[in-house]
Amino acid sequence: MVIKVNYENVLNDKNVDFRDLDESLFLLGLLSVFDNRYQAKADGFYQEISWKQFFSIICISLCTEPPSIKELSEIMGSSHQNVKQILLKLEKKGFVQIVVDDADRRKQRVLLTEKTMRFCEEHQEKADKIVGSIFQGVSNEQKQITIQTILQMEENIRNVEV
């Protein structure tokens, strides 16, 4: 399937011309732009927490057992230091509890609190509405192709040597 991109519709800035840009570079840039715009918008979704804080809650909730900070950092694709800062803010607000691992005292595990469970329940309808709006007009087939593409890119980036 060949997809023709109408680059003129990407930005409303007449001083930007994407026509000669390699599609791979365009896609990487588009992903970065989307990430920045989504984060800016998503930071306003909830008054109590930021998008990155909420994303960490989502990642923790997907774990079959409370993750260590290192494990959570790998899941989130972020540094240990960045994740630790996010978690400390969430802990201060009562959304997570950071505890020492019983088996390995060097590890810290992250637990979600009852406050988090209530917060997620109270905001589920709003979250569903936001996600539905973002994916309006995007077919399941398009989502599957996008997921496959990004997963392949994720696998490839692990092998890139700098």
* 118 in any annotated domain: yes
The pLDDT of residue 7: 56
Summary mean pLDDT of the chain: 90
* 88 in any annotated domain: yes
The pLDDT of residue 21: 81
The CATH number linked to 71 is 1.10.10.10
Number of domains in the chain: 1
Range(s) of the domain holding residue 114 = 31-124
Residue 49: DSSP 8-state: S
Question: Is the distance from CB of 39 to CB of 78 less than 8 angstroms?
Answer: no
Of the pLDDT bands very low, low, confident and very high (cuts 50, 70, 90), residue 16 is confident
* 6 in any annotated domain: no
Tell me the per-residue pLDDT of 99-131, one tens digit each, with 9 for 90 and over.
999 999 999 999 999 999 999 999 999 889 999
Higher confidence at residue 161 or residue 74?
A: 74
Tell me the per-residue pLDDT of 24-48, one tens digit each, with 9 for 90 and over.
988 898 899 999 999 998 888 888 9
Of the pLDDT bands very low, low, confident and very high (cuts 50, 70, 90), residue 23 is confident
C-alpha distances out from residue 157 to 23, 76, 102, 162, Å: 17, 15, 35, 10
Tell me the per-residue pLDDT of 79-107, one tens digit each, with 9 for 90 and over.
999 999 999 999 999 999 999 999 999 99
